[in-house]
Amino acid sequence: MKIYLLANNFPFGRGETFIKDELESIVFSQKEISICPLEYKGKKKETEYKNVVLTPSLKQKDWLAILFNCIHCRPLLKEIRSLVYSKNIHLNTIKRAIVFWVFANIKKRQIELIIEQENCTESQIVCYSYWASTTALAIVLLKKDKKVLGISRAHGIDLYEERHRYEYLPFRYEIYTKLDKIYLISNSGDNYIKNTYNFSKKIISGVSRLGTQDYGINLENRASKLILVSCSNVIEVKRVSLILECLARIENIEIEWNHFGAGDLYNELEDKVKKCKNSNLKCNLWGFQDNEKIMDFYRNNPIDIFINVSTNEGVPVSIMEAISFGIPIIATNVGGTNEIVINNITGWLVDKDKVEKELPDALMAYYQLNKNEKNKIRHSTRKFWEENFNSKCNYYNFYKDIKELVHEKIEDI
């Protein structure tokens, strides 16, 4: 069996660092799995992975083949027809469907070239898209011409249509019904596709949780101040400034807040920190940091609480990482977050529309716990991670399921 893991940029770039945990937790040899960053445009850099395969340059004949496939656009016409039936026909949705279709055809050709370049003679080829995006549709198109097994994960941004303009993600029918299996990272995600689409009976799906490695245990805070951490891009959906606003209102205790991550609203966040007049609040904005440095910080510095106030989530890897250290969580009850933040076991959930009141209340409630009560929730947090989000267990089961799926489908492919 040969697996092609089709990512966007991993192991290059910043966006998919969590794939590293998956690769370091599986028992496949580098000959059995190839990492393909389909959207990476640079030259091959030095990396710890010897099995990275860059896309060969597309030649004129490749572009002609792509153009030919784009013109034969029955699935595209079907997609536009579905927009008409759902009364979601807009210039924006039509444009997105066309762009999605074109990029899927480009990626289909890229995948074909990668398989040809590797001279893959395996009779059992698995094309595994990390995102339910244009790459997943490319696999669907590839399956029409080549005997491959096609699977995809679906997380959050590539799953929940309401996160997008006009609540639209292109080609859901093609992707969800024509791949051999869709792997959701949460029960919430699995329920979403089963309850949202009238073609759900045609979807073969299952839950395969992500996981994180064991980096150690966080140090106990022996100081009187409350030490907090958050880790996310500084973008609208993450509402990092809201964390600052809530903390600025707590004036009767000393608080140290550390935030890791950058983004479009980072400069605005810096300005707000400078203008904050709460003398008991110390804010450390660390910007973008390599994941290893963040894990070192969690391991070597006492942290009381990890905070996440996003308006939407899948199951955040940042929360998985925090609970692996035994750090309790306060987070908004959105997406699959309630599958990892369990009240009084791994932390506390707050209403996404009542964060201004409920976050300070939850922080003060934790601060007032005695030492034994704090240690109890830290221990239960760590135990919950061991039982549910340990990467060795979760990824072993995921790749075991892929092998079983190959054996089930071998006659079909």
Q: Tell me: the pLDDT tens digits for 101-138?
A: 999 999 999 999 999 988 877 779 999 999 999 999 99
pLDDT tops 60 at residue 189? yes
| Mean pLDDT, residues 386-407 | 94
Poorest-confidence range of 104-113, 320-329, 403-412? 403-412
* Residue 216 resides in a domain: no
Reading phi first (left if > 0) and then psi (alpha if -120 to 50, else beta), residue 370 is in beta
* The pLDDT value given to residue 75: 93
Q: What is the mean pLDDT of residues 180-207?
A: 95
Q: How confident is the model at residue 412 (pLDDT cuts 50, 70, 90)?
A: low
Q: Which residues pair with 281 in a beta bridge?
A: 255
Examine the domain organization and report whether 65 and 190 are in the same domain.
yes
For residues 359 and 307, is the Cβ–Cβ distance under 8 A? yes
Please give the order of strands across the beta sheet that includes 329-332. 281-287, 255-260, 226-231, 305-308, 329-332, 347-350
> How does residue 77 score in pLDDT terms, banded at 50, 70 and 90?
very high
pLDDT at residue number 42 = 81
| Comparison of pLDDT for 307 and 413, the residue scoring more | 307
Is residue 221 assigned to a domain?
no
b/e for 128-153, b at 16 or more Cβ within 10 A? Answer: bbbbbbbbbbbbbbbbeebebbbbbb
Checking phi first, is residue 179 left (phi over 0); if not, alpha (psi -120 to 50) or beta?
beta
Do 72 and 169 lie in one domain? The reply is yes
Enumerate residues 6+ apart whose C-beta is below 8 A from 310: 232, 237, 238, 239, 316, 331, 332, 334, 337, 352
β-bridge partners, 184: 154, 207
Do 184 and 291 belong to one domain?
no
Model pLDDT, residue 347: 98
Q: Please give the structure tokens belonging to residue 224.
A: 């009187």
Of the chain, the percentage scoring pLDDT greater than 70 comes to: 99
Domain CATH number, residue 126: 3.40.50.2000
Could you give the CA distance from residue 165 to residue 161 in angstroms, rounded to a whole number? 8
- Average pLDDT, stretch 180-189? 96
154 and 248 together in one domain: no
Residues of the chain with pLDDT > 90, as a percent, come to 85
Same structural domain for residues 298 and 150? no
Number of domains in the chain: 2
69: domain range? 2-211+392-409
Q: Is residue 207 part of a domain?
A: yes
For residue 141, give the nearest of 95, 178, 93, 98 by alpha carbon. Answer: 178
Q: What pTM value is reported for the model?
A: 0.90
Q: Compute and round to an integer the Cα radius of gyration of the chain.
A: 23
Confidence of residue 413 (pLDDT cuts 50, 70, 90): low
Calculate mean pLDDT across residues 160-169.
Answer: 93
- Are residue 197 and residue 287 in the same domain, yes or no? no
The answer to whether residue 255 scores a pLDDT higher than 60 is yes
